[in-house]
Structure 1
């Protein structure tokens, strides 16, 4: 096993209704233990689907075209699972807006030594696979949680709340109990039409004491980085992979990098539409 504490990666255990099936390479398959996530709420109304009354203003750093692009297709593997897809859009996955960065804030209450570099290296791996750009804004005193609204005017203003990365422990986030070193997932925007679905915020909770123990081992840095990569994979929209050998598999058996299925799933998640108008 890659680790003892944290040998089992966390499911994206965010509030939401668990589904009876997931989608593997566009094909629904039944799953008995499907994690929940926070998909956006479908709404009625909106003239022509106009979202100005339900979404915050477009931020200054948004662009009219994708900021980055995923790399070339490296694999024809179907060993990936999306958290949610849109049948009305040909089954494409719900993804982040590639025309604006994914903003992060970090609560370092239980951060191990080197936590900032771990996060940056893991984020760089996701960026390379997806083209999605990450911006680490600042530290935050927001309490880590798996129940978090996509907009928090009092704390962050009229904008999509930045993703909260929390270095924490099971006393704060009970989902980290046992051999779970991290739990993460995205939050979706409310929408009028199915094609408006996309991820806009989320949480990444990492067990600081567990990481400190992992980092004492000879392969500790690579193992710790792999856990953060796995959780960021959940954040951008991948569920657990159906086979061993992928970093997004629910148990890590020594995988230190994204596998062929992971990379193809991440590539597709970087090809989503822009929502800047």
Structure 2
């Protein structure tokens, strides 16, 4: 069985195209030593209100949401347990990973302030791989001037209107995001919606911070495109709810190997993350 984590925090470490899992990172303002994932601190279990009515705490259902999942993950083709989730929740149907609503596309905006050449194609290829493995659909809303922030909220009505904020993908550097200093190539993670009961838990926004200068150097090396794309895929894996694993044959392993594609454990974990409940009522 896959192991699970009670909390989620993450980043990717890169040294001469080799990942290193030492060091620390800041996740949503909470110091989590020795990890490489970032999850926002904005989610919370609410104790006041009608637990069956989320209209007061969630924005309205967007017009591009469907009544059924917009896509479907592939059929199960692996019994591998080489995967882990950032968070799981128990409900009447048993335990499930906290996941994105498959009835809505995941919107992204891109701050390309430090983007290397070919960054748009790199990001689109990486999101296509995650979409294929999960069935989740991604929509690029275009560029943004929003800067990376440790305390980014899941809603920013002034900037994005009355909806969940799109995922911020920032091509940046350590001068802007100090946690990218040294060997860290990327930091990523999702934001959870506020909720009353466990069955309402799901991801609704997030961030992906990528070290543009570091990845520009990777792209110059033989096979650099595949290695750089693997970094972005790893970070997007965190974004949709994957945690690190101990198996070096998986892309969610925290240290660099020759792996540039999702392994069997990655694929099974991503498949399960594509089977989350819809929240379009």
- Give the alignment's TM-score, normalised by structure 1: 0.90
| Superposition deviation, residue 74 in structure 1 | 1.6
The alpha-carbon deviation at position 87 of structure 1 amounts to 2.1
Q: Secondary structure at the match of 1:46?
A: coil
For the residue of structure 1 that corresponds to 2:205, the secondary structure is strand
Q: How does 1:240-259 map to 2 (within 5 A)?
A: 240-259=244-263
Note the C-alpha offset of 1:144.
1.5
- Counterpart in 2 of 1:26? none
Identify which range, 3-12 or 200-209, moves more after superposition.
Answer: 3-12
The aligned residue for residue 4 of structure 2 is none
Deviations for 1:65-85, whole angstroms, at most 9, x for unmatched residues? 000000011210111110000
Aligned equivalent of 1:135 = 139
1:105 aligned residue? 109
- How far 1:192 sits from its partner (Å)? 0.7
State which drifts further: 101-110 or 44-53.
Answer: 44-53
SS in 1 for 2:171: strand
Verify: 1:207 aligned to 2:211, yes or no: yes
Match of 1:15 in 2: 28
Structure 1 residue 179 corresponds to structure 2 residue 183: yes
2:267 corresponds in structure 1 to 263
Aligned equivalents of 1:127, 1:140: Cα separation in 2: 23
- Deviations along 1:143-196, one digit per CA (max 9) or x if unpaired, are 112321000011111110000000000111111111111110000000011110
Cα distance between partner residues in 2 of 1:35 and 1:119: 18
- The residue that corresponds to 2:277 in the other structure is 273
Distance in 1, Cα, partners of 2:139 & 2:84: 26
Match of 1:115 in 2: 119
Aligned residues: 265
Superposition pairs for residues 1-277 of structure 1, below 5 Å? 4-5=15-16, 7-8=18-19, 13-15=26-28, 37-38=39-40, 40-88=43-91, 89-277=93-281
- In structure 1, C-alpha distance between the alignment counterparts of 2:64 and 2:25, rounded to whole Å: 28
Q: 1:202 to 1:60 in 2, by over 3 A?
A: same
Q: Distance in 2 between matches of 1:231 and 1:78?
A: 20
Q: How far is the alpha carbon of 1:17 from its aligned partner?
A: 5.6
Q: Is the 8 A contact 1:6 1:182 kept in 2?
A: no
Runs of at least 5 residues in structure 1 that lack an aligned partner in the other structure: 20-30
- TM-score where L is the length of structure 2: 0.89
Structure 2 unmatched ranges of 5 or more: 1-12
Any conservation in 2 of the 1:101–1:135 contact (CA below 8 Å)? yes
